[in-house]
Amino acid sequence: MTEQPEWMQALNRAAADVQKAFANVGGVLAAQGAMGWAYRGDVAAMQFVLAGMPPEQLRALSAAASMLTAAADEELSSRRAAQGGAAREEAPVEDWERGPDAASGIGVPPARVEGRVLALFGDAAVVVTALHSQDDPLRVSAAELAEQLGIAVEDLPGRRFVGGIVDDRVVNAELVR
């Protein structure tokens, strides 16, 4: 068998590169399609698109969607804070409702904020809130947060919750559904 001329080898390499580029574009278009169906609330169409994606693309899409969600939540929180602090709610504690003397010697209740778990890092859950941006997230015990939320530690990434922030801990956390 004779060896192909160099120009034909170059053409074959170029064709392979174009094929890879089209595969990448196809993956991006599929991800955009899934996001479009999700944005419209069409779960069946979204699931159909996701079912055609390979696992590595699903993982990348999941990570990108978590990042987008966290950034959008952070933007909403900063806008609420700029509009008079509506993002901060007082924790419901009966002593504060009984009058100024009832709370003497008791600290100020923790602000209730919405948070999102970005990722797990070792034993820590990396969390963004209105008080902790993506540039300086809160790192809390993943086991403690999972216990408060009633879910497994491995289910924390991407989850939204409302809870109080005391020092570097989340207290009285509840899942946002």
What span, in angstroms and rounded, lies between the C-alpha atoms of 72 and 118? 13
pLDDT of residue 109: 57
Q: Residue 118: which pLDDT band, with cuts at 50, 70 and 90? A: very high
pLDDT at 99 exceeding the cut of 50: no
161-177 confidence digits (pLDDT tens):
999 888 788 999 999 87
What span, in angstroms and rounded, lies between the C-alpha atoms of 124 and 118? 11
Vertex 42: Cα angle to 39 and 48 (nearest 5): 110
77-86 confidence digits (pLDDT tens):
888 878 765 4
pLDDT at 111 exceeding the cut of 80: no
Q: How far is CA 82 from the centre of its chain?
A: 22
CA distances from 95 to 89, 104, 158 (A): 16, 9, 34
Q: Which domains are assigned to the chain?
A: 6-74 (no CATH), 91-175 (2.40.50.140)
pLDDT of residue 156: 95
- The more confident residue out of 53 and 87 is 53
